[in-house]
Amino acid sequence: MSELRGWKLVCAGVALSSMLLAGCATVDESASQDTSGSSGGGEVAQRINGAGSSFVAPFMDSVAGQLAQEEGIEVNYQSIGSSGGREQFIQKTVAFGASDEPMSDEEMQEAGGNPLHIAAVGGAVVPVYNLEGVESGLNFTGEVLADIYLGNITRWNDPAIAELNPDAQLPDAKIAVVHRSDGSGTTNIWTSYLAAVSPKWESGPGAGGEIKWPTGIGGDGNEGVAGLVKQTPNSIGYVGLEYAVQNDLTYGNVGEQGAFVEPSVESARAAIAAVGDEIPEDLRFTVSSANPQGEGVYPITGLTWVLVRQQMDDLAQCKAVARTAWYLTHEGQELAPDLNYVPLPENIVSRDEELIRSMEAEGQKCYTE
């Protein structure tokens, strides 16, 4: 990187299975259209900037390292939360955004260029807790989780929790509720499920990435929530499965009485498969909002999208974004299970391919095989 002026140091703090990526990414906030190393004649840009979902950050960081080695494209990704990623994408301060909450129609109109939702990976959002003496996974129904986050259930030995966990030694301790403080796609997946199973939640806080929380304290990003739960006795929070595993947090099972499902790559994959027919052509669908059911189906599951424009201004930039999206949805899928993400099913990959192939700039196609 020859130019350092205007670059911002951004720390992701993400631990991967093979190494600790607690480092930082530098992001050029003064020039989102970075075509360094490319000519104006349609060569592929060597660097692109992206921002958004903290849920997907470990996957993005891992794929970016492999992409740089194999394709020579450097992806600088900021883990700033899905809302921030959508906003930077709309403002064109990054080449692509990443979000676990689909763009609204209004956001898509503001962004211009016919925004596309390229599904990058799937994953589970899990209830994590810090409860001394309770190391095995507790069972939760959606209604119990909703009542905890509504402030209706305030102690760990409440009969509603105890009934679901007759063998657990639940303390008579106040529940410290932890939620996201920033606009969050992880929150969208979590609250979409709560709204689907709890009329009180649906008519109260509702579903979405930014809501008015009835109770609790906020953490910034999946990283922040995981850190707060880890350091706060008697706490409960929600994070992507990958963060629970990497931070050695205890996480619970979710379902109905007698049919609780442990979150895993397999049970989250089953959830995506269970709602396959409901996913529209533009892929803008929150899986958890359908409360997917079935044996071995973990319901609090969602997709992360890479947000790109079907019509871009700069061909070199567009080629780099298209190649990155293709790599994420193909070679990158091999990395997903080891990082506790769900590889995309074939029907979604096929739709991704159609969307990526439709990308254009300067009158030319951006992805060519």
State the DSSP code for 367.
-
Task: Average the pLDDT over 224-247 and give the result.
Answer: 98
- Is the pLDDT reported for residue 112 higher than 90? yes
pLDDT digits (tens, 9 = 90+) for 61-78: 999 999 999 999 999 999
Q: Where are the chain's structural domains?
A: 7-121+304-365, 124-301
Task: Average the pLDDT over 95-117 and give the result.
Answer: 97
Length of the chain: 369
Q: What is the mean pLDDT of the chain?
A: 90
**266: confidence class by pLDDT, cuts 50, 70, 90:** very high
* Intrachain domains 7-121+304-365 and 124-301 with the same fold: yes
Q: How far is residue 138 CA from its own chain's centroid?
A: 24
- CA pair distance 220, 81, nearest whole angstrom: 8
Closest CA to 325 of 348, 306, 301, 297: 306
pLDDT digits (tens, 9 = 90+) for 280-309: 999 999 999 999 999 999 999 999 999 999
**42: confidence class by pLDDT, cuts 50, 70, 90:** low
Alpha helices by DSSP H, listed for 72-180, are 82-91, 105-111, 142-150, 159-164
In 3-state terms, what secondary structure has residue 237? strand
The class (CATH top level) of 124-301 is alpha beta
pLDDT value for 368: 86
- CA pair distance 12, 24, nearest whole angstrom: 6
pLDDT digits (tens, 9 = 90+) for 87-97: 999 999 999 99
- The partner residues of 78 in beta bridges, in order of sequence, read 51
CB 187 within 8 A of CB 211: yes
- C-alpha dihedral over 158, 163, 164, 168, to 10 degrees? 70
- Is the pLDDT reported for residue 29 higher than 80? no
Among 3.40.50.720, 1.10.10.10, 3.40.190.10, 3.10.129.10, name the CATH number for the domain at 7-121+304-365.
3.40.190.10
pLDDT digits (tens, 9 = 90+) for 180-211: 999 999 999 999 999 999 999 999 999 999 99
Task: Average the pLDDT over 329-351 and give the result.
Answer: 97
Task: Average the pLDDT over 352-368 and give the result.
Answer: 97
pLDDT digits (tens, 9 = 90+) for 137-172: 999 999 999 999 999 999 999 999 999 999 999 999
- Is the pLDDT reported for residue 28 higher than 50? no
Which amino acid, 53? S
